[in-house]
Amino acid sequence: MKKIPFFKMNGSGNDFIIINNRRNIVEEMVDIPIHEFVRRVCERKLSVGADGLILIEKDNEYDFRWRFFNSDGSEAEMCGNGSRCAARFAYLNNIAPLSMKFLTLAGVIEAQITGLNTVRVQLTQPKDYKENIELDGVDMPLSFINTGVPHAVYFVSSVDVVDVKTIGEKTRYHEYFAPEGTNVNFVEVVNSHTLRIRTYERGVEDETLACGTGATASALIAILKGKCETPVEVITKSGNRLKIYAYIENSEVKRVYLEGDALLTYIGTMLDEAWNY
């Protein structure tokens, strides 16, 4: 019987399976394509279940590199909540010190353990900021920014009454964002330092309890549009709060940090029946 040890972690309710793959245990144990393996073990009720899966791998220049997969098996460039969990995992497993750097498809991420279960990450340089985008079939304009992965942002009067699934899906698959698609955020401004947010995540293809890069994108756009000032606290669907620190000069984002929890739910071992079903 084949066995793969793993950590189950979550950041603000966004949950992940994390595997130490520095000795290529996944390649050794799994005889199906990695994307299919991820899709199967992330399937709730049938297997471990998660919003995503993270492989921690060796890197010659940084403390480690990661591969991040959404629950549908697609590989993504970046995940804010996942990055905090990966950093704490690396620290708990003596892979990296309190302050670390690791490589993602979006670039190098700097992270620091700031408390027992809190982590602050410096995200990659945001890019492609656009305002007042109007899409066919959607009766409100949106803004866009890439915070490691693409994010569309709608500002609404109340996130409680938004049809996240319908508008999120329509926006995510709209030809304007083809072929990669986009994540979609619905944002309510509470005050100059607080936002409420709901997010439809690409790759999960549904609303999630939290999205770190989405919270960051929403906070940055709120600041750039004069709706908020740094730091911005973002209240997620789970009720947990993420804090975004932005350093902006002449409307250009110089640095951005995301801070929040990274909770260890349990440590387990998945057997081959977790993916061979």
Q: Which of 89, 122, 103, 92 is nearest to 60 (CA)?
A: 103
- Between 1.25.50.10, 3.10.310.10, 1.20.1340.10, 3.90.550.10, what CATH number should domain 3-117+263-274 receive? 3.10.310.10
What number of other Cβ atoms are within 10 A of residue 178's Cβ? Answer: 9
Range 15-24 average pLDDT? 98
228 is catalytic: no
pLDDT at site 137? 87
Cβ-count burial 71-83 (b if 16+ within 10 Å, e if not)? bebbebbbbbbbb
pLDDT at site 252? 87
Please list, in sequence order, all residues whose beta carbon lies within 8 angstroms of the beta carbon of residue 31, skipping any fewer than 6 positions away.
none
85 is catalytic: no
Which amino acids are annotated as binding site, given as ranges? 14, 70, 80-81, 183, 201-202, 212-213
Range 67-76 average pLDDT? 96
Residue in 42, 85, 211, 228 annotated catalytic:
211
Range 178-192 average pLDDT? 97
Work out the percent of the chain whose per-residue pLDDT is above 70: 100
235-251: per-residue pLDDT in tens? 999 999 999 999 998 88
Alpha helices in the chain (DSSP H): 25-29, 34-41, 80-92, 164-172, 212-224
Q: Check: CB of residue 114 under 8 Å from CB of residue 120.
A: yes
- Distance from C-alpha of 54 to C-alpha of 26, rounded to nearest angstrom: 11
Q: For 107, left (φ over 0), alpha (ψ -120 to 50), or beta? A: left
Residue in 42, 79, 85, 228 annotated catalytic:
79
Which amino acids are annotated as binding site for substrate, given as ranges? 14, 70, 80-81, 183, 201-202, 212-213
Domain chopping of the chain, boundaries: 3-117+263-274, 127-259
127-259, superfamily in CATH? Diaminopimelate Epimerase; Chain A, domain 1 (3.10.310.10)
Does the pLDDT of residue 104 top 90, yes or no?
yes
Please, is 59 exposed, middle or buried when counting C-beta atoms within 10 Å of its C-beta (0-12, 13-18, 19+)?
Answer: middle
Does the pLDDT of residue 233 top 90, yes or no?
yes
Does the pLDDT of residue 82 top 90, yes or no?
yes
- What does the chain come to in residues? 277
22-57: per-residue pLDDT in tens? 999 999 999 999 999 999 999 999 999 999 999 999
